[in-house]
Amino acid sequence: MTNSQRLRGALAPVVTPFGVGLRPDAARLARHCRHLVERDVGLAVFGTNSEANSMSVPEKLALLDALVEAGLPPARMMPGTGCCAFPDTVELTRRAMHHGCAGVLMLPPFYYKGVPEEGLFRFFSEVVQRVGDDKLRVYLYHIPPVSAVPITHKLVERLMKAYPKQIAGMKDSADDWAHTKSMIDAFAKDGFDVFSGNEKPLIDNIKSGGAGCISATANINPGKIAETYKKYATPEGEKLQGWINEVRGVMQGYVMIPALKYVIAHYGADGAWTPVRPPLVETAEAQGKDMIAKLDKLGFTMPGLKQAMAVAAE
């Protein structure tokens, strides 16, 4: 597999709608995924913003099956498969491979803290060896503010040496461009694709040799983020970068996951989007209205979303 067939550009850690009894709503998720793919945004389903760790393994397997059955392209998918227990990670990764997903995004086991690099190396080794597929493309998920278990340069180096085919890249959600750049500088030359964890450094990422971004806000601002990626080398791209950063800036003032759902419910005219699973809590109305007012002021819209979600009423 050459780099040209690899995932690049903008991906969204797709938010997961929950219906009656807080059950995952596969049909509504598929509609949102289609809306994203039509705007050239890839599907990092089962990420942090997807509330993936608030779902059981059987729930995630069923959702992935449903998305593929709904005709969404596995070649544009990078499902999150990293759990605390390696048998769970292996099972989810195998299913992703079965469907031909382009890659998987893999959290380190995140219950124990301060674990040795050797232990993390063994975890990823167990998974790669048990899945046993040369087509596997693992993107390591560095998100210390949430997982509290970092992926170090040394660990990446060891894993790339041991599994040069399967260790494909990283999502860096440390929200520190200097750190992302250090990963690109160290490993991009060997085919390691580094995605920024949000769109703020998108153009810098591409110009430095990175692969793009996997960003929460790509759920609500897919078209403009994807356009920024395509036009990164142009003055128009620079202008777009400024605007998407303003949208991101508004969203960072709120608790991200419920806020994204509030925005989708609002611009999609589909209130069924708001529920979150505990331990998260929905955005309060007053906060939500404040957020929408700020977005409106930026000229923010979600073109096509209302039509995409209206299928629900059929």
Residues near its own copies (CB under 8 A): 22, 48, 53-57, 59, 84-88, 91, 108-113, 115-116, 118-123, 125-126, 145-149, 277-281
Say whether the peptide bond before residue 150 is cis (omega within 30 degrees of 0). no
Round to whole Å and give the CA distance between 102 and 44.
Answer: 10
Supply the minimum distance, in Å, between the C-beta of residue 262 and its own copies. Answer: 16
Q: Which two tokens stand for residue 268?
A: 């999609």
Q: Which two tokens stand for residue 115?
A: 């674990």
Nearer to its own copies, 20 or 313 (CB): 20
Nearer to its own copies, 87 or 271 (CB): 87
Supply the minimum distance, in Å, between the C-beta of residue 280 and its own copies. Answer: 5
Nearer to its own copies, 123 or 232 (CB): 123
What strands lie across the sheet with 9-12, from one edge to the other?
Answer: 42-43, 9-12, 212-214, 193-196, 167-172, 138-142, 104-106
Q: Which two tokens stand for residue 130?
A: 């048990």
Nearer to its own copies, 1 or 85 (CB): 85
Supply the minimum distance, in Å, between the C-beta of residue 143 and its own copies. Answer: 10
SS3 per-residue string spanning 287-304: HHHHHHHHHHHCCCCCCC
Supply the minimum distance, in Å, between the C-beta of residue 300 and its own copies. Answer: 26
Nearer to its own copies, 75 or 85 (CB): 85
Supply the minimum distance, in Å, between the C-beta of residue 139 and its own copies. Answer: 18
Q: Which two tokens stand for residue 263?
A: 């925005």
| Cα first-last separation, the chain | 42
